């Protein structure tokens, strides 16, 4: 009996101990939750009760140098879905069928939305009154659907200047992870190209925010705090949109003329107009172009194909600063400067051009564009008549001295480096030298810098590549006496209320290290190019003195590219113009007349052209 009582007592003791431990754990847990973790759980409760909702602000607008609108906002009607619609498959299917939007696209937009049930998601832009009326009249069939106004981006000049301005679009998932789009959310509108992309952070502004209290179902009860945000800044460019229009029209006419003259592949080109006294870019034309307005609504797949196919000429590619081409004879003034600085020639050095140059030996002849030869030529006649043989001599003499002076001079004038223009995807071009060739080529036999490399470089051929904008910069330095300005495309930035936030001033990169008398002599030679040299046909009878240089660049597997670079008035330059027509033939016949027409507009002269004869390559 006693043994049974002891057993019962022991069991009771264990049971009490278990209960004690259990209650102790519960007590300690409650004490921890109520005392130690009070602040933590209070914060969590507040976060469950309070929600932060972002408020979109109006994107800044873009204007030309004279205040003409280039990119503005106009109200348009959008159709939105509340995020909780993601749980209503029948609603999603009905909306998809009615608006003609793929169901997968709607689901994707709702999936990546991070605002919860409080911020509607834009799924359809530019809704018609008919579409809106149908939804409003049958609200019961379209729960979770919201119709509201949103600011639609409009480009009044349409194709004119489009490759500069770019366009805007909805941010992609890939872009959301980039530092440049920090603070952006799914559905935000951001710059995709051109100025819209490069200055996107300024144009976007600062989003507003509101703190709202929600109920157990997540629906808004009241707004506790509100910040309206700051609209984006307005950008005024240095571009003159009317000059831009003239440049694009003139370039289009030059392309058509090239095709009539037999260059059937000509369909693209670029024009750059700069102020040589401060580096302002007045026009930056690139053809073919596109209409950025078509990116703002429901971009059709057919249109996207039409501007991205090979046949389209790639209008989204801005040739003025992205395209890299051999400069051809445009480069000859810089080769002459290299020859002068290294001492291998003087302004009075002469050679006898027979049309066939055999400086590297009879087995390795090179030819002048004028196959019958120019006879005895000095630096003056070589530049005015674009004699290739003269510059072959300079290149070969520099090779024998193991000198890379041509490359040094090229870099002094801005070649081989990005100009720093605030536009995305700029090309740096290329100034080839011995080190580059060793890195670039794989086969050992191709890595050696040969005499022919220097000779080809001397006339802007071989592996040399430049952008039209770089050419404009280099001729700006020739025109103004040696000041190499960085290209300026933004004039000023203004706040939404009109207050100037920043006013841009000229940016002098460097003073090129050449004697003033050398630059003055070369300017005088370039002036004679348009009166008695390779551009005399294009500028016959033109009342304003123009200094310039024609160029016809050879590209393997393609027809010749037509170049012309010039500044005017020749003695007190106000404008620098560079014209390029891809596969357009000869510079004196195609590019130079186009430059004359643009100069005529700038100087308020009749825009009538004489028929330019083919004076040279």
Does 85 reside within a domain? yes
Cβ partners under 8 Å of residue 595, min gap 6: 538, 548, 564, 566, 577, 579
Which candidate, 276, 268, 319, places its Cα nearest to that of 469?
319
Tokens of 286: 């690139």
For residues 484 and 276, give the distance between their C-alpha atoms in angstroms, rounded to a whole number: 9
Angle among Cα 183, 165, 606 to the nearest 5 degrees reads 165
Query: Does residue 316 contact residue 290 with C-beta atoms inside 8 Å?
Result: yes
Residue 205 domain flag: no
Residue 284 CA to residue 163 CA, distance in Å, equals 9
Residue pair 584/590 in contact by the 8 Å Cβ criterion: yes
Kindly list the distances between the CA atom of residue 478 and the CA atoms of 138, 512, 520, 553, 567, in Å, as whole numbers in the listed order: 70, 9, 8, 21, 9
CATH number, domain containing residue 313: 3.40.710.10
- 252 shares a domain with 130: no
The angle formed by the CA atoms of residues 294, 298 and 301, to the nearest 5 degrees, is: 85
Answer with the one of 114, 135, 156 that is the final residue of a domain: 135
In the chain, the number of structural domains is 2
169 in any annotated domain = no
For residues 268 and 126, membership in a common domain is answered with: no
Helix (H) or strand (E) holding 493: strand 490-494
Q: Look at phi and psi of residue 537 and say left if phi exceeds 0, alpha if psi is from -120 to 50, else beta.
A: alpha
**What's the alpha-carbon Rg for the chain, to the nearest Å?**
34
* Percent of the residues in the chain that have a pLDDT greater than 90, as a whole number: 62
Looking at every residue in the chain, the average pLDDT score rounds to 87
Whether the CA torsion 252, 255, 259, 260 is positive or negative: it is positive
Which among 194, 287, 216, 210 has a CA at the least distance from the CA of 248?
287
3-state SS class at 615: coil
Does residue 426 contact residue 321 with C-beta atoms inside 8 Å?
yes
Cα angle 64, 421, 510 (rounded to 5 degrees) comes to: 120
Find the mean pLDDT for residues 197-202. 93
- Three-state SS annotation for 54-78: EECCCCCCEECCCCCEEEEEEEEEE
Query: Can you give the residue range of the structural domain that contains 104?
Result: 78-135
The CA-based dihedral angle spanning residues 104, 105, 106, 110, taken in that order and rounded to the nearest 10 degrees: 100
pLDDT over 70 percentage in the chain: 87
Contact 341, 403 (CB under 8 A): no
Domain contains 590: yes
Whole-number pLDDT of residue 17: 74
Lowest mean pLDDT, pick from 2-11, 256-265, 539-548: 2-11
Nearest to 77 by CA among 133, 147, 155, 135: 147
The pLDDT score that the predictor gives to residue 162 is 94
Task: From residue 452, give the alpha-carbon distance in Å to each of 180, 448, 455.
Answer: 45, 11, 5
In a 3-state reduction of DSSP, which class is residue 321? Answer: coil
Q: 178 pLDDT exceeds 60? A: yes
Integer Cα distance of 22 and 19 in angstroms: 5
Give pLDDT, residue 55: 76
Give the tokens for residue 125: 């832009």
Are residues 131 and 246 located together in one domain of the fold? no
Whether 535 is in a domain gets the answer yes
Among candidate residues 135, 164, 183, the one where a domain is terminated: 135
Euclidean distance between CA atoms 565 and 577, whole angstroms = 6
- Three-state DSSP at 339 gives helix
* Residue 481 neighbours by CB distance under 10 Å: 15
Q: For 414-469, how does the pLDDT look when each residue is reduced to its tens digit (9 = 90+)?
A: 999 999 999 999 999 999 999 999 999 988 888 999 999 999 999 999 999 999 99
Residue 204 placed within a domain: no
Residues 249 and 101 in one domain: no
| Sign of CA pseudo-dihedral 519, 329, 399, 435 | positive
Same domain, 250 and 123: no
pLDDT above 80 (res 222): no
Same domain, 119 and 245: no
pLDDT at 44 over 50: no
Check residues 484 and 107 and name the one with the higher pLDDT: 484
Among residues 135, 152, 171, the one where a domain terminates is: 135
The continuous run of DSSP H or E covering 6 comes out as helix 2-31
* pLDDT: which is higher, 524 or 308: 524
Q: Are 246 and 127 found together in one domain?
A: no
What is the 3-state secondary structure of 397-437? HHHHCCCCHHHHHHHHCCCCCCCCCCCCCCCCCECCCHHHH
Mean predicted confidence (pLDDT) in 491-511:
93
Same domain, 419 and 543: yes
Q: Residue 227 falls within a domain, yes or no?
A: no
pLDDT of residue 102: 85
Residue carrying the six token digits 């940016």: 507
Judge if 269 and 412 occupy the same domain: yes
Look at residue 116 in the predicted model and tell me its pLDDT.
53
Q: 599 and 544 in contact (C-beta within 8 Å)?
A: yes
Same domain as 119, residue 249: no
The pLDDT, as a whole number, for residue 578 is: 98
The H or E element spanning position 522 is helix 516-532
> Residue 67: pLDDT above 80?
yes
- 34-43, 86-95, 162-171, 336-345, range with the lowest pLDDT: 34-43
Measured CA to CA, the distance from residue 41 to residue 262 in angstroms comes to: 80
Given a cut of 60, is residue 33 above it in pLDDT?
Answer: no
Is 117 a residue whose pLDDT tops 60?
no
On whether residue 545 sits in a domain, the answer given is: yes
């Amino acid at each position: 009996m006693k043994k049974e009582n002891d057993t019962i007592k022991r069991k009771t003791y264990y049971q009490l101990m278990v209960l004690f431990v259990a209650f102790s754990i519960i007590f300690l847990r409650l004490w921890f939750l109520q005392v130690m973790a009070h602040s933590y759980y209070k914060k969590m409760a507040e976060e469950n009760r309070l929600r932060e909702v972002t408020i979109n602000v109006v994107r800044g607008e873009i204007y030309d140098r004279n205040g003409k609108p280039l990119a503005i906002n106009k109200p348009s009607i959008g159709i939105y879905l509340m995020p909780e619609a993601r749980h209503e498959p029948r609603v999603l299917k009905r909306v998809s069928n009615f608006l003609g939007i793929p169901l997968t696209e709607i689901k994707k937009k709702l999936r990546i939305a991070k605002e919860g049930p409080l911020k509607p998601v834009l799924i359809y832009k530019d809704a018609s009154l008919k579409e809106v009326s149908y939804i409003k009249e049958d609200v019961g069939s379209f729960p979770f659907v919201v119709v509201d106004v949103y600011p639609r981006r409009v480009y009044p000049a349409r194709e004119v200047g489009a490759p500069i301005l770019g366009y805007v679009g909805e941010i992609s998932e890939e872009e959301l992870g980039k530092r440049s789009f920090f603070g952006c959310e799914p559905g935000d509108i951001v710059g995709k190209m051109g100025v819209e992309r490069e200055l996107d952070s300024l144009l976007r502004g600062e989003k507003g925010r509101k703190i709202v209290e929600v109920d157990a179902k997540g629906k808004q009860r009241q707004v506790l705090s509100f910040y309206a945000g700051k609209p984006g800044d307005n950008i005024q460019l240095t571009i003159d949109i009317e000059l831009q229009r003239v440049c694009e029209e003139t370039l289009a006419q030059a392309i058509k003329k090239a095709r009539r003259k037999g260059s059937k592949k000509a369909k693209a080109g670029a024009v750059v107009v700069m102020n040589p006294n401060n580096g302002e870019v007045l026009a930056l034309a690139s053809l073919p172009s596109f209409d950025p307005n078509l990116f703002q609504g429901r971009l059709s797949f057919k249109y996207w194909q039409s501007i991205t196919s090979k046949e389209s000429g790639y209008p989204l590619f801005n040739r003025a600063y992205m395209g890299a081409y051999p400069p051809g004879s445009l480069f000859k003034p810089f080769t002459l400067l290299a020859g002068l600085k290294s001492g291998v020639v003087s302004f009075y050095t002469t050679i006898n051009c027979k049309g066939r140059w055999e400086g590297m030996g009879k087995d390795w002849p090179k030819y002048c564009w004028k196959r019958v030869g120019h006879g005895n030529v000095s630096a003056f006649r070589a530049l005015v008549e674009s004699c290739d043989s003269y510059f072959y001599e300079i290149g070969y003499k520099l090779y024998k001295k193991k000198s890379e002076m041509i490359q040094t001079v090229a870099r002094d004038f801005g070649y081989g480096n990005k100009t720093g223009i605030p536009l995305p995807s700029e090309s740096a071009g290329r100034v080839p030298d011995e080190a580059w060739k060793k890195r670039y080529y794989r086969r050992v036999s191709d890595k050696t810098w040969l005499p022919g490399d220097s000779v080809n470089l001397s006339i802007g051929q071989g592996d040399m590549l430049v952008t039209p904008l770089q050419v404009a910069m280099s001729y700006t330095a020739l025109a103004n006496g040696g000041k190499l300005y960085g290209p300026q495309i933004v004039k000023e930035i203004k706040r939404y209320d009109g207050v100037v936030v920043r006013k841009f001033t000229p940016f002098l990169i460097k003073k090129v290290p050449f004697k003033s008398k050398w630059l003055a002599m070369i300017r005088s030679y370039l002036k004679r190019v348009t009166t008695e040299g390779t551009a005399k046909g294009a500028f016959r009878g033109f009342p304003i003195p123009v200094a310039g240089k024609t160029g016809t660049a050879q590209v393997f597997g393609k027809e010749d590219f037509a170049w012309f670079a010039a500044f005017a008035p020749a003695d007190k330059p106000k404008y620098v113009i560079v014209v390029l027509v891809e596969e357009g033939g000869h510079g004196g016949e195609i590019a130079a007349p186009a430059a004359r027409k643009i100069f005529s507009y700038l100087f308020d002269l009749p825009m009538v052209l004489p028929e330019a004869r083919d004076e040279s390559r």
